[in-house]
A = this chain, B = another copy of it.
Amino acid sequence: MEIERANAFAVGPGTRPEMHDALSAAVREAGGSIVPIEQAHVLIWDDPGAAAAFPDYISLGPDVDWVQLPFAGIEPFVSNLDHEHLWTSGKGVYAAPVAEWIMAALLTSFRDMHIFSKATSWPPQSGRNLLGASITVLGGGGITRSLLPLLQPWGCEITVVRRTPDPLPGAATTLGLDQINDAVAGADAVVVALALTDTTRGLIDAALLAEMRSDAWLINVGRGGHVVTEDLILALERDVIAGAVLDVTEPEPLPADSALWSLPNCIITPHVGNTPQMGLPLIADRVRRNTALWLSGEQLLGVVDVEAGY
């Protein structure tokens, strides 16, 4: 796709003023000119919650060549993807805070901070070490690449499962998705950091949970749809695994009547791998860099594979 790199940026739909202002400033700082959508060649989408408004909005901009989306997982937008536009997402941008959340989840669960946080009198001693533990990470994308350096000083035995078993720096073993059963069998914790696709939806089911050690933790920071929730509830109730820390659920928010809330070995966090507060400066920086790359005719960061859907 050969595109003239015109300097005509729309930042919209504008329904989230704080984000609109931050992304508009980022475009201007990189030398971009902001114009109405009707004259735009670039659309910087500035409201992650407004996917439903996208078709009407983009129809106002017949000259738009490139659309920058403001999140890493673009499932709400997948139905809008086409081959008429170049699409970029925030993939990789939010990886560092999400990797930090994974470390928080590992240490909270291993050192029983979730139990101690609820105590109202001196509880029994408990806990186990992350130092030297075996950790299996499902997914070899930006989150995993940010996680591995954080795990490096801990002397962990790290296995990464990804589409293609190309080695990753910091992982002792890299396996393909077809070897997932072997990969989870020996782990103290299994971390789900996959993109949600037809291949990975429902990957964490009763059969896979049964392959895990009974003292192992499941950590999900991918998407709720990776896990068959009813299977997980049964596994947690019957101590098939030690516990789960979930930053993503299906649906979100997780309804108050979900059985997951009452399980003492399930910790649910409200999709805070990166919060808007943590993420806004990160996506603004990505928009700044991509604006500059666009204007200088260089390859953009975070280009979406329209066929793969991420």
- A residues contacting B by CB (< 8 A) are 96-97, 100-101, 103-105, 107-108, 110-114, 116-131, 149-150, 152-154, 252-254, 256, 261-262, 267-272, 275-278
Contacts and interface: CB of A to CB of B under 8 A. Distances in A.
Contacts of A256: 120-122
Given A117-B118, A119-B268, A125-B271, A100 B111 contact: yes
A238 B67 CA distance: 48
Given A112-B272, A113-B113, A149-B153, 6 more contacts: A100-B130, A117-B117, A118-B118, A120-B262, A125-B275, A150-B154
Contacts of A108: 104, 107-108, 113, 117
Contacts of A122: 252-254, 256, 268, 270
Contact of A153 (B150, B262, B275, B277): B150
Contacts of A114: 113, 117
Contact of A104 (B97, B113, B118, B125): B113
Contact of A120 (B105, B117, B253, B261): B261
A118 B266 CA distance: 11
A1 B114 CA distance: 50
Contacts of A121: 253, 256, 261
A257 B143 CA distance: 44
Contact of A124 (B112, B117, B123, B270): B270
A112 B141 CA distance: 26
A129 B100 contact: yes
A79 to B, nearest CB: 26
Nearest to A264: B117
Contacts of A97: 129, 131
Nearest to A122: B253
9 contacts: A101-B127, A104-B108, A107-B107, A107-B108, A119-B270, A124-B270, A128-B277, A128-B278, A152-B153
A271 B125 CA distance: 7
Contact of A270 (B116, B154, B268): B116
A153 B253 CA distance: 33
Contacts of A118: 117-118
Q: Which of A110, A117, A121, A149: most chain B Cβ within 10 A?
A: A117
B119 A261 contact: yes
Contacts of A129: 97, 100, 278
A278 B100 contact: no
A261 B270 CA distance: 25
